[in-house]
Structures are given as structure tokens and as C-alpha cells.
Amino acid sequence: MALGLEPNVRHRSPHPEMVRSLVANGFGYALYNARPLADQSLDGRQIVTVPLAGAHRPMRLGVATLSGSRPTRLVAEFRIHCAATITRDNIPGMRVR
């Protein structure tokens, strides 16, 4: 990593709500690249968020398409929607600091 630090990863899960519930119930901590709107786990326990100090790379999102293909109307409208909705100050379902 950029600062030469490596986290001691003991477990991984593809289920964010499970991780949030484990953290809220005192079973460790987690690192996420985005902050959810809710400060509670599904069982209602409080989750404390602590921003990492320093400058970090921003999260980048993209839309993958086939090279040389003409996007369908649905894909074109989805791109327009994403460009209008996902901004530096607004990521739907996430808190941006």
C-alpha cells in the first residue's frame, strides 16, 4: 500500500450487512470505501464511523460496454442518469464527507 501499511485481514465477506452487524456487536472493525447512510446495523445497534486520516484516492465508477458497439437507448439513459446522480457530493445510499 502507499504508506507501506498492510491490514491484518482475518475474514472477508461479500455481505456488507453481515459485516456491519458483526462490527456493531463488538466483533472487530471493518474498512469500507464508502459510508452508508444508516449508522445502525440491521439489529439496531449503533455503528461508529471513523474517517481515515490523509489524502486517499477517490472511488471511481464506470460503465463497461463492448468496443465499437453503439449503446442502446437504455444504456445511454443509464449513463445520463449516473452522471446526474452520482457526483462528488452525492452517492445514492452513501454519505459523502
Q: Tell me: the pLDDT tens digits for 46-88?
A: 998 888 888 877 777 788 888 898 989 999 999 999 888 888 7
Q: Domain check: are 70 and 45 in the same one?
A: no
Q: Domain check: are 3 and 48 in the same one?
A: yes
- By residue range, what is the domain housing residue 89? 58-97
φ, ψ dihedrals at 78, nearest 5°: -65, -45
Q: How far apart are CA 24 and CA 47, in angstroms?
A: 5
Q: 90: which strand partners?
A: 87
Q: Domain check: are 22 and 38 in the same one?
A: yes
Q: Domain check: are 49 and 62 in the same one?
A: no
Q: Domain check: are 5 and 50 in the same one?
A: yes
Q: Domain check: are 12 and 44 in the same one?
A: yes
Q: Domain check: are 73 and 38 in the same one?
A: no
Does residue 16 sit in helix, strand or coil?
Answer: helix
Q: How far apart are CA 73 and CA 62, in angstroms?
A: 17
Q: Domain check: are 50 and 95 in the same one?
A: no
Question: What's the pLDDT at 44?
Answer: 94
Given a contact cutoff of 8 angstroms between Cβ atoms, the answer to whether 63 and 79 are in contact is: yes
Q: Domain check: are 32 and 74 in the same one?
A: no
Using a pLDDT cut of 90, give the percent of the chain over it: 26
Question: What's the pLDDT at 96?
Answer: 61
Q: Domain check: are 23 and 38 in the same one?
A: yes
> Smallest Cα–Cα separation from 11: which of 24, 35, 29, 34?
29
